[in-house]
Amino acid sequence: MHVGIVGAGAVGGYLAAELSAGGAEITLVTRKGRAAATDKPVAIRADGTALHARGSLVITDDSTSLSGVDIALVTVKSPATEEVAATLAQVLPANTPVVSFQNGLRNVEILREKLGPRVAGGVVTYNVYNGERGERRQASTGKLMAGHLAGELERRMQALKEVFSASGETLELHGEFNSVLLGKLLLNLNNGICAATGLGIAASLRDYDARFCFSECILEGLDCMRRAGMKPARVTVLPPELLAPALKLPNAVVTRMARSLVGIDSAARSSTLQDIDRGRPTEIDDLNGAIVAIARRAGGEAPRNELVTRIVHEIERVAMSGGRPAFVPPRELRSQMERVSRGKHAI
């Protein structure tokens, strides 16, 4: 099977290494001018297992090289999705399925506007980051999930699942995928907390005030979704309705009960914080900002997630201008969140 992957960042490189180890031929498309500086990715799983490219793995910035792939995976950040959609519409045959392994809710819609119903949603529920030597490291355990397609497109999805299986990865295919995307969005709200505070993922989950803010964002997101007629799926061991209150338990209890959460690689940083580190645009409008959008469409507000979105945008602005961003300490973020919550309520 020949798999094309658009986006050579942490997730794109990790999936490329997995699929190559599973026997697939890989074409990995980078940003313009970055191909020569991109090494063949090595994936390091959470248990320390290293996966190396086993067969053909071509790294290029020429998107026309995707014309012969059997399936294309999109792993770019949300701001680049419209450009990628237009490019894929030009270079891919009409029968080539596309899977969006991206954050947020809008990317599948944007891709389908140009590519039609051959686009499936996908989620990576674990964190991946770039290691010091360029390796792609899985920092937490979780699932790889995607939606079903129809006819020949579904046969290629099944073939993709088999290649992942050959590498030791399980790709779960689901019929009702919008609910999965909603569940992943709730989990991703910690991206904003990490970006606002400057904390790595593990540090944010060990800090009570940061966990409190994450919990409040999930609870607000659940309320907004419920009032908008949306039902998120469970994408972790705990459903979001139980995860949110569990995050507010004392540190000692969380440390005992959720070792997989607090045991995340201490070097792992959320994708939004990684963007800030590099002075790049973030996806915050497709994360915490997406909850604000859901609330507004239903005629309401989401003050907690709106606060996080506003703070991250200011940090992003400073970082992109070459300045040193001022992160908000977790206790101060909690205080601000409690203040905005007193005067406003979600929907």
Q: What is the pLDDT along the chain (347 residues), one digit of tens a residue?
A: 999 999 999 999 999 999 999 999 999 999 888 877 688 899 999 999 999 988 889 999 999 999 999 999 999 999 999 999 999 999 999 999 999 999 999 999 999 999 999 999 999 999 999 888 889 999 988 899 999 999 999 999 999 999 999 999 999 999 889 999 999 999 999 999 999 999 999 999 999 999 999 999 999 999 999 999 999 999 988 899 999 999 999 988 887 766 656 567 788 899 999 999 999 999 999 999 999 999 999 999 999 999 999 999 999 999 999 999 999 999 999 999 999 988 754 43
Q: Which of helix, strand or coil describes residue 238? A: coil
Distances in Å between the Cα of 21 and the Cα atoms of 69, 101, 136, 193, 326 are: 17, 19, 14, 35, 42
In this structure, the answer to whether residues 116 and 200 fall within a common structural domain is: no
In this structure, the answer to whether residues 284 and 200 fall within a common structural domain is: yes
In this structure, the answer to whether residues 39 and 80 fall within a common structural domain is: yes
According to DSSP, the residues that pair with 57 across neighbouring strands are: 26
pTM for this prediction: 0.92
In this structure, the answer to whether residues 140 and 258 fall within a common structural domain is: no
In this structure, the answer to whether residues 237 and 298 fall within a common structural domain is: yes
Residues 6+ apart with CB under 8 A from 34: 8, 61
In this structure, the answer to whether residues 237 and 170 fall within a common structural domain is: no
Give the domain extent around 54.
2-175
Q: How many domains does the chain have?
A: 2
Residue whose pair of structure tokens reads 């689901």 in the numeric block: 174
